[in-house]
Amino acid sequence: MSKGSSEFTVTCIACPVGCEVMVSGADEVRGNKCDRGHEYALLERHDPRRVLTSTVRTTCPDHPLLPVKTDRPIPKRFLLEATKLLAEECISPPVKAGDVVVRDILGTGASVVATDDLL
């Protein structure tokens, strides 16, 4: 991905084709083969989002870390801060995959959920 002052280029991941999509300074989109590519490129330029995957500490000596992820993409600018917040968390069993560990992380509307069981 490159961000120049007049043109932004990104490889689209909205579908399996993987188009190289260019967005001009006027938000003119070129190179996409589907409408999802158009939308993806504009979002990636103006408000890139990612699903955060991480771990949180547990009180269980046999399983000291529990894998977690956000249930939806969050703004990329919040990833580091969200990771620091998760480093402060410590949860106790029982936890099942899908259980909410942190609700509405950093006001993004996304919850952090367990991706494994801790029974």
Q: Tens of pLDDT along 14-45? A: 999 999 999 998 889 999 999 999 999 999 99
Is the residue at 87 inside a domain? yes
Q: Tens of pLDDT along 63-80? A: 999 999 999 999 999 999
| b/e code 9-23 from CB counts within 10 Å (16+ = b) | bbebebeeeebebbb
Instruction: Flag whether the pTM goes above 0.85.
Output: no
Which pLDDT band, with edges at 50, 70 and 90, does 4 fall under?
very low
Total domain count, the chain:
2
Is the residue at 119 inside a domain? no
Is 20 in the same domain as 37? Answer: yes
* DSSP state at residue 45: H
Is 99 in the same domain as 61? Answer: yes
Range of the domain at 95: 53-114
